[in-house]
Structure 1
């Protein structure tokens, strides 16, 4: 039973609490390297039903459901905005099968699991089974960020989650219309027409809004500073109008709108996408806190042991069988099929839509419709915890992580970058790749066995051919200072500004040439420039990796190598950190490895590595 209420909160304070708990849970999960969804679920349960400190309906009021509905719409739109057809490549066949075969088969198997596992009536099972098609983009995105899967399985999970979300909601609508016809005097023809009109309106609205925004942005009918506000306004209008025609069809409309914009090649696409990603982090956090805090433990008390049978049937039978049948006879390797088959977390849309249809079924006289909401929450909680903690080790066991240890992506082929990349690869076993639009700059790297990419790192070709998840650090070191700054600035949101490094600029000391802190990456090697670093290579400087220990620490190393240029260190967990001029702030633990450049006169000194 839920804890007794300890007093209501002011609505503003309640909203602030939701934001603080949501973002705080995500930050804490990042620090502890835990699944963020799990911590958000726990935080919502603690402040809500456990301690009774926060009750969304009491403290925020009837607007809670509207807030959740709009948040889910924005989340799905942002998901659609990431679905660029160019990124599919060899995953296209798998995505089509997961949508066109997996969705109907998943509906059928989920319905059977509900009927024979949970013991629900056929009516409730059919409606809830439709909703269970969804695998939750609100959960998949944070999990993929943590697990760092290889490109294809990550794409398959992402596309399936986002595309099937509105399909699941509409499947529930279809099943509910059938129940409505059977329970009332409504005619079948009228229900079918209503469903068809709703889907048609949603599709037309999504396409029309996407086309209209594309034309408006391309023709400069909207000033740059108003593009994101206009986008949000149109998004809300499309969702509201479509939902007024057929409930839950708004989800389909905004998803179609997002996919259209993602494939329209708009100049402002990156700015819009990044802003939406930031908004989505806030919304996902908030919605999970709201839903968890809204849980009524007395509703869970209605469930019996059959709820456990139901969850086990979904996780162990329905999901794996759906994926294996859908992906049968494709070129997707069996280990990737296995990973996808055993990864099916449910999220916000399932809980929100299930609660709504559960109430409607009860109003129609289907008594066990009241169990749909509690069953949905249990399924979400169990799958979030299971997949949150198992996806990363399971993908590692199958060899489907982008890289065991994230590596370094170099932009600019030169004698210096080749030497450093070769050292990191051979002595530290870090994944490395050198990208350069000039093929001749990559010749030395190819001869050294370093992986290369011939092309512009900012091009679509790089996005399609480079598995960015394999790299946590970007080092920009071409002979063009302006290009270095452009790349570092453009890719900073993707890698994180703390993981973007740039060699020194030839002209940066005077006010005429100095750049604001918002541009470019962090400095390395005491702001040494391209010419200085490569001149050192011509003079005979070499790279060296030194492991520190209890007996041989930082002070001993510096005493033995007074002229060495310290470039980076690898912490005991295997992550690399480049250094600028702040060597004095470095207090490495035993087991840390130093990456440095040694002058010719120090190369012949005996090396002690502890």
Structure 2
């Protein structure tokens, strides 16, 4: 074992982020990779043991990390997102959670062999899914908006209530078996839960007030929120264990629905922090498991309980709770299958295992093994099947990366038609009906609205689109659009047309710090591109093969031909940009803008070649 806390912290962080990168690179569930990494460096090879290394600081570190992750998730819970889904979401997080608690507790008693007291504590805890596992899966699977919204809301809202249910069940047990515990203790539990909710709401309101009134400078807003989240969690949790999760969830939902101007900056900051915390905490937890805990997972009672939770408890609770809602059978099937457990289940179960053992419940010794078995099984099963099942049920968005073009004009319309011919999802967004007339006539999908408006997030689903091109006549607007969408799309996939006045120093300086990558060649501006379309230039698609290499294509092309992008066999698009060109290989398709006379010449040459081949065939 490595005897250095500093080195262990570095190793945990490195493994977490490396796991995220490997999952992204090879299209695997990130949680699975992180779990395997933690098991390898922890119980299997014994390189680190975070629980022993960090000592008394281990639980507070994990608890505060879970609070921040839960707050970041709840910061995305805007009620406008569930328009038309209010009834099924409400039924799932209330009636569905209650059914899952009852069914899970019955299974824990009759199948896992736990006493009634321990079964009802752990049954309440196992209703949670949580943002630590749901959000990475949703990013990976690219579900359609309805099932994605349901799973996200359930995961975030039910997370604190699962912990509270476990606490409630424990308080009931105390009340029944202990002579020193009275009904006052139960009343205190409910009072503490109500206080946590109200306190989280007040902190959220206070945060919005000081931000909107300008009492906090921009550079301090994210740190202030960070500290207030920790305070909200710690104060509530100090009053009653596990109520802090409720406080930060309510705080995040309050801020999300007040629509303050700083919400996006906070959301992006917290999302970055959340990814880092999820990566490190999951590695820490799995690395802290003992070999004995892992071996006990193969107990037949535990295996049978996991299968029961996977194939009966979850589907049945979702199916019963959504009777009478407008969810389709396909949506019920997908939501009823996807319920991975994560960090909250692992951390809270370890707490209750020790507390219940102190109370004399010897069967609580298997809680950690039982919980990890359920966590790992659900993460693996749901992580590897969510995309496949969503595709089979037609609830996933096409994997082919799409393109959003901002600005309706002649060039963007023709470019969109070409992308459609290549089976690439495309959409043109513009706030003017007048500019969208040629787009609509061409049969290209469009969105009428301001792309920078806050409302766009709730009326336009950008999940299918990995690339964005700002193609309006205003350079500053194009730069603003690209800068705004950096967190969602990524700077490498944001493009804008060449600046019209490249000679001005201030614009050249600007493009290095804000805006997107400049498309095509220098001085190929909005005016130049639209003039080419109006004079009759056409888009040409050329396949690069073993016989017809890229070098030959460059030699034969007309000097006025403008290279636009290359479509890779994998479906990825690589644009030609100012100062950089994609590496063209065999199997790629190059799309260019060329003069019609050149195109007609090519067509005539092909026709002549076909006639010659036909004549030779007739002679033979």
TM-score (norm 2): 0.95
Cα distance, 1:26 vs. partner? Answer: 0.5
Q: Does 2:43 match 1:49?
A: yes
- Aligned partner of 1:316 in structure 2 is 311
Alignment map for 1:450-599 (pairs within 5 Å)? 450-514=444-508, 515-527=510-522, 528-563=524-559, 564-582=561-579, 585-599=581-595
Cα distance, 1:509 vs. partner? Answer: 2.8
Q: CA deviation digits over 1:399-437, x for unaligned, max 9?
A: 111223121011000000000101111x21111110001
1:526–1:581: 8 Å Cα contact kept in structure 2? yes
Greater shift in the superposed pair: 590-599 or 245-254: 590-599
Cα distance, 1:513 vs. partner? Answer: 2.8
The partner residue of 1:399 within 390, 394, 397 is 394
1:143–1:388: 8 Å Cα contact kept in structure 2? yes
- Aligned partner of 1:411 in structure 2 is 406
- Aligned partner of 1:435 in structure 2 is 429
Distance 1:11 1:60 in 2: 7
Distance 1:451 1:93 in 2: 30
Cα distance, 1:187 vs. partner? Answer: 4.1
Cα distance, 1:192 vs. partner? Answer: 1.8
2:175–2:183: 8 Å Cα contact kept in structure 1? no
What's the secondary structure of 1:8's corresponding residue? coil
Instruction: Tell me the C-alpha RMSD between the 2 structures.
Output: 1.4
1:504–1:524: 8 Å Cα contact kept in structure 2? yes
Distance 1:284 1:88 in 2: 26
Alignment map for 1:344-423 (pairs within 5 Å)? 344-423=339-418
Q: Does 2:76 match 1:76?
A: no
Distance 2:216 2:599 in 1: 61
1:138–1:348: 8 Å Cα contact kept in structure 2? yes
What's the secondary structure of 2:467's corresponding residue? strand
Q: Does 2:294 match 1:300?
A: yes
Distance 1:54 1:182 in 2: 41
What's the secondary structure of 2:485's corresponding residue? helix
2:566–2:582: 8 Å Cα contact kept in structure 1? no
Distance 1:494 1:399 in 2: 24
Q: Does 2:59 match 1:62?
A: no
Q: Does 2:105 match 1:111?
A: yes
Cα distance, 1:188 vs. partner? Answer: 4.5
Cα distance, 1:582 vs. partner? Answer: 4.9
Alignment map for 1:130-209 (pairs within 5 Å)? 130-209=124-203
Distance 2:453 2:432 in 1: 14
Q: CA deviation digits over 1:213-235, x for unaligned, max 9?
A: 11100111111111111111111
2:498–2:525: 8 Å Cα contact kept in structure 1? yes
Cα distance, 1:439 vs. partner? Answer: 1.0
What's the secondary structure of 2:506's corresponding residue? coil
What's the secondary structure of 1:329's corresponding residue? coil
- Aligned partner of 1:602 in structure 2 is 598
The partner residue of 1:215 within 200, 209, 214 is 209
Distance 1:38 1:455 in 2: 40
Q: 1:59 to 1:395 in 2, by over 3 A?
A: same
Cα distance, 1:182 vs. partner? Answer: 2.0
Q: CA deviation digits over 1:540-586, x for unaligned, max 9?
A: 11112222222122122222323321111111111222211456x53
What's the secondary structure of 2:507's corresponding residue? coil
Distance 1:560 1:369 in 2: 76
Q: 1:222 to 1:461 in 2, by over 3 A?
A: closer
Q: CA deviation digits over 1:345-364, x for unaligned, max 9?
A: 11000110111111111111
The partner residue of 2:266 within 261, 272, 280 is 272
1:38–1:384: 8 Å Cα contact kept in structure 2? yes
Cα distance, 1:462 vs. partner? Answer: 1.8
- Aligned partner of 1:3 in structure 2 is none
Distance 1:364 1:225 in 2: 49
Cα distance, 1:469 vs. partner? Answer: 0.6
TM-score (norm 1): 0.96
Distance 1:398 1:547 in 2: 34
Greater shift in the superposed pair: 82-91 or 433-442: 82-91
- Aligned partner of 1:336 in structure 2 is 331
- Aligned partner of 1:448 in structure 2 is 442
- Aligned partner of 1:4 in structure 2 is none
1:554–1:587: 8 Å Cα contact kept in structure 2? no
Cα distance, 1:64 vs. partner? Answer: 1.0
Cα distance, 1:525 vs. partner? Answer: 1.5
Distance 2:543 2:576 in 1: 17
The partner residue of 2:218 within 221, 224, 233 is 224
Q: CA deviation digits over 1:30-52, x for unaligned, max 9?
A: 11111111111111111111111
Distance 1:339 1:460 in 2: 30
Cα distance, 1:461 vs. partner? Answer: 3.0
The partner residue of 1:11 within 5, 10, 27 is 5
What's the secondary structure of 1:501's corresponding residue? strand
Q: 1:105 to 1:188 in 2, by over 3 A?
A: farther
Unaligned runs of 5+ in 2: 607-620
What's the secondary structure of 2:133's corresponding residue? helix
Q: CA deviation digits over 1:483-530, x for unaligned, max 9?
A: 111110000110011111111111233213321522000111114211
What's the secondary structure of 1:468's corresponding residue? coil
